[in-house]
Amino acid sequence: MFAIDSQAQQYPSTAVAGDGKVYAVSLRGNLGRSYCSRSSGVCLMGFLLSKFSTPSTYGHSQLKTGHPVRSAIHKQLNGRLVLRWVTTWESLLLYVLLSSFCSSSQDKIPFSANATPTLIRPSINAKSDSQKQCPVSTSKFSQSWGLSRSTVGRDGPTAVVFMNMGGPSNQGEIRDFLHRLFSDGDIIPFGRFQKIFANLITRFRTSKIEKQYAAIGGGSPIRKWSELQAQETCRILDKTSPLTAPHLPYVAFRYAHPLTEDVYSKLLADGFGKRGRAVAFSQYPQYSCGTTGSSINELFRCKEKLENPGSHIYWSIIDRWPAHPKFVEAVARNIEASLETYPVEKRKDVTIIFSAHSQPMRAVNQGDAYSSEVSATVYAVMKHLGFSNPYRLCWQSKVGPQPWLGPQTSEVVEKLIQKGDTHFLLVPIAFTSDHIETLYELDEELIGESGHADTIKRAESLNGSPMFIGALADMVKEHIDGGERSSRQFGNRCVDCQKDVCKDARGMFMSGPTS
C-alpha cells in the first residue's frame, strides 16, 4: 500500500473522479494520511485538488460539473509541501501511471476528465463496498480543518507504548535495576546527594533483594506479562480500529530492560519520527508523580536527546484509568472467583483487603493524585460487587523512617488475626501484573508466614486476563476516537512543583506538531 502525506491543512481534498465514484476523499491535516485499497489490488493514489472546487458538507471539496479537471498534486520535498497545477492531459498521463500499480483490470482507478463525482460519506460504519475499502476519518481535525491543544489528527500506523517501572528478569539484572530506581529523583528525591544515595542504598539492599527474587523463581515476570498484554491489545485494535492500523506493541520500562531510551530509539528506527503516531499507555491505573510522572519525564528526556528537526514523533498519552468500567469489572471477576473458594457459610463474611503500594506523606500533602485515585478504584470495584463484603484499603511496601501513607497491610492483617478474624482476601489494586510486591511481599511474607494460609488468600493478578486485555484495547480505542492528547487532569501538577522537566514533559502531550 502506498500513501502520500500532506502538510497543508488549508487545502481540502477531492477525489479522482470517474463513473460517478470518488476514491480518495480524506485529508487529515498536519502530516495526515489517505489511502485506498480496492478488491485484490492496492492503488497508488495522490491527493488531487480541483481548481474548480467548492467546500462540501463534510470538509472535502466537490468538483463543479462541466469543467475539465485541472488538479494540483501534493508532493513532499525536504519536508515541505509543493503544489503544481497540471493540465488535463498530464492528469490523464498520471492516471495511466497510477493504473499500472493495480493487479487487475477491475482494480484500475476510473478516471474521466468531465465526470461528475459522488462524494463518499465520511463514516467508518459505511455499508457499501467502496466505503469499507476506502475508510475516511471523521476526527475533529478533519471536520474543522484546525488544530486544537487536545485534538489528534492522523491515521496509522500506531505505536502503543506500554510504560511501567519494570523488574529484573534474572538475578544478574537486580543491581542495575536497584541503582536506576534509587537514582530517580521523581520517586525518591535526594537532590544533589541523589547519586551518593543511590550508590549506598544499592550496595546495602542488593543482597536482600536477590534473596527475595530467588524465592519467586529468580526474577520478575512483569516483562512477560507486559509483552503479552501489549501484543494482544494491538491484535484486538487491528480489528476494532482499522483506521489507525497497524497497531505495533512496544514495552518501555523505567528501571529495567527494555529501557525507555532503547525503546524510543527503536520507535525512531521503525519510522515513527516521520509517519504515524505513538500512544504512551501508562500501566499504572492510578496516576502518581513517582510512577507515571517519572515515566513521562524520562520519555521527554529521550525526546530531547534523540529527536531532530526531521524526525518528530507525534505523541498522545493515556495517563490514568482508575475507574474504567472494564478494568473495574476485570478486578471484580477475579475477586468473585477467589471468594468462591471459601465455604458458602463464610463467604459473605470474608474481609476484602485492597492493598496498594504506599507513598510518602510528603507526596500526599503536595497534592499527588495517587491516593485519591486508588480510593476511587476501590469504591468502583465494591460498587460493582454490590458491596457484598466488608472491605478495607491498606498500603504496603513502606521504605525508610519518614511517614508514609497507612495503615500498612501487614500490620492490619496481624492485628485482625490477634482479634480472631482470619478470613481475608487480599486484592492488589494498583498492580496489574504479578511482580515482587505480590509474589513475595503478599504471598511469601504476609500469607506464608501468617499461619492461616487456608483462610487468608490473594485474588489473582490481572496478568493475562482476557477481560483485562479487552479493557486495555477499549481504552486505546476510546482515546484515539475521542481525539484527546491526554486526560483533563493531566495538566495538574503538585501545587508547589518546581521541576522544569515536569512542566516541559506535560507540554510534550498538550500541543500539536508544528510541522
| Residues labelled as active-site residues | 474
Grid cell, residue 404, equals 508514609
d(CA 173, CA 195): 19
C-alpha to C-alpha distances, 23 to 43, 45, 101, nearest whole angstrom:
10, 9, 15
d(CA 491, CA 38): 44
CA-wise closest residue to 447 among 420, 410, 407: 410
Tell me the one-letter amino acid at 96: V
d(CA 417, CA 363): 31
Ordered DSSP codes for 81-128: EEEEEE-HHHHHHHHHHHHTTSSSGGGSPP--TT----PPP--TT--S
Taking phi over 0 as left and psi of -120 to 50 as alpha, with beta for the rest, 211 belongs to alpha
Q: Find the helix packing angle between 325-339 and 370-384, rounded to 10°.
A: 60
Residues in CB range of 385: below 8 A, 6 or more apart: 332, 335, 336
CA-wise closest residue to 392 among 376, 405, 409, 411: 409
Where does residue 74 rank: exposed (0-12), middle (13-18), buried (19+ CB within 10 A)?
A: buried
Asked if residues 6 and 139 have their Cβ atoms less than 8 Å apart, the reply is no
d(CA 288, CA 292): 6
